[in-house]
Amino acid sequence: MTEPISPFDSDAIEQLRQQHRLDPEYVRTLRNRLFKQFRSDEDATSNFPLRDSLRCHVLQQYRRFDSDLDGATKLLFRTEAGMLIESVILRIATGRTTLCVSSQVGCAAACDFCATGKMGIAKNLDYTEILDQVLQAGQLLASEDGSLDNIVFMGMGEPFHNESQLHKTIEVLTAPDHFNRSPSRILVSTVGVSDAMIQMAGRFPKVNLALSLHSADQSTREKIIPLARRYPLDQLRTTIQRCNEIQSHEVMIEYLMLRDVNDSVIDRDRLAKWLDGLNVHLNLIPYNPIEDAPHLAGTEPDAIADFARAMKGLGVKTTVRYSLGRDIDAACGQLVRKENRTYALRLNANVARHSPTA
Ligand SMILES: C[S@@+](CC[C@H](N)C(=O)[O-])C[C@H]1O[C@@H](n2cnc3c(N)ncnc32)[C@H](O)[C@@H]1O
Ligand code: SF4
């Protein structure tokens, strides 16, 4: 009995097609139905002669949380390795939908304010695991007669720590004979990995980039983002200049509003100075408190609005992120953290037991 084939694996699909002398039209129809129309597995594979050789999903849907407050849905998936990852569907009032995907389980960057960074693990997802988040969310939206408009890499993980799988994912997402998504509707958010940002801008110039800046002061940034030591602010500014030269659109600057950390008048003026001359758009993010960082608190909404007004006054294009799904975030984040920690501990115990020095 041969291993089932993932429809995302073009080489394996082509090999199968040639082996069975299948008309390429069958493969085209399968891809159109599954990747472009997001039909159900059964419907999409119904006339594919080798449907029993396929396995449409590498992720198992584990839980679903729907917000009572707004149109957010959080999907928890279990990977084959047993880890939980999350994807979030944001249904925005304008009718547009955005899917936030994970690129890793956990994250080595270990930012102080981030639940994923506090998980204490970092495992890369492979491209089929990232694409399956898109497929399953797309199928869910299609079943509600909705559509999927934007895909953002703002879920668990640092996408540029998983660069090869990220590039492969974007290739399949934008390939006309696969998902055929517009690159301008894809956004990759990073904590700031300079060389990878420039690579991305060069290889996929239409894909949007977002930099999680969070402070324009080097020592403050280092306190909340350990990776800031490796990629100092001067280097990041030059990186954005380089991306601006390659790309025709703005880079998004994400700025988490943390009370008494980065929200003073001095912080604001320093930020405006740092952004001056760059083709950017500033997005202020309200902080979502996490259990593992009791020392951090978010800036009050009124103060965020004042900060935004002042930044606009200083000539910076500024918006405030309206955060969706707050009611489901805590429940889901805690579940993911707890289960993945338990799993990682079990895994480490097994490795120790089997290591020659144990
Ligand atoms: C989870 S990260 C994933 C992408 C990438 N690793 C990055 O840092 O940009 C996506 C965004 O969520 C933000 N974020 C992390 N923890 C947060 C929290 N507790 N409240 C609000 N935003 C948070 C990050 O700063 C980043 O801008
Ligand atoms: S890089 Fe992004 S995902 Fe990783 S810990 Fe920092 S905020 Fe979280």
Residue 28 covered by a domain: no
Q: Return the SS3 of 296.
A: coil
Same domain, 333 and 283: no
In this structure, what CATH number is given to the domain that contains residue 175? 3.20.20.70
Transcribe 15-84 into DSSP letters.
HHHHHTT--HHHHHHHHIIIIIS---HHHHHTT-TTGGGB---SSEEEEEEE-SSSEEEEEEEE-TTS-E
Same domain, 272 and 297: yes
Q: Return the SS3 of 128.
A: helix
Residue 235 covered by a domain: yes
86 is annotated as an active-site residue: yes
Active-site position among 56, 86, 100, 129: 86
In this structure, what CATH number is given to the domain that contains residue 296? 3.80.30.10
One-letter amino acid of 239: T
Number of domains in the chain: 2
Residue 35 covered by a domain: no
Residue 296 covered by a domain: yes
Same domain, 178 and 67: yes
* Residues β-bridged to residue 210: 189, 252
List CB contacts of 285: < 8 A, sequence separation 6 or more: 254, 255, 256, 257, 321, 323
Same domain, 173 and 245: no
Query: Each residue of 239-293: pLDDT tens digit?
Result: 999 999 999 999 999 999 999 999 999 999 999 999 999 999 999 999 999 999 9
Same domain, 170 and 260: no
Same domain, 235 and 290: yes
Same domain, 248 and 332: no
Which range marks the domain in which residue 271 is found?
228-323
Same domain, 287 and 336: no
Same domain, 182 and 61: yes
ipTM reported for the complex, 2 dp: 0.99
Residue 300 covered by a domain: yes
Query: Each residue of 51-100: pLDDT tens digit?
Result: 999 999 999 999 999 998 888 999 999 999 999 999 999 998 888 999 99
Which residue minimizes the CA distance to atom 17 of ligand 1? 114
Mutation to probe ligand 1, out of 100, 285, 336 (largest number of atoms < 8 A from CB): 285
Q: Return the SS3 of 324.
A: coil
One-letter amino acid of 278: L
Lining ligand 2 with CB less than 6 A are 107, 109-111, 114, 116-117, 157-158, 191, 212
Same domain, 60 and 184: yes
CA–CA dist 57, 49 (Å, integer): 18
Residue 42 covered by a domain: no
| Closest of 91, 60, 62, 72 to residue 328, by C-alpha | 72
pTM as predicted: 0.95
* 228 close to 192: Cβ distance less than 8 angstroms: yes
Residue 281 covered by a domain: yes
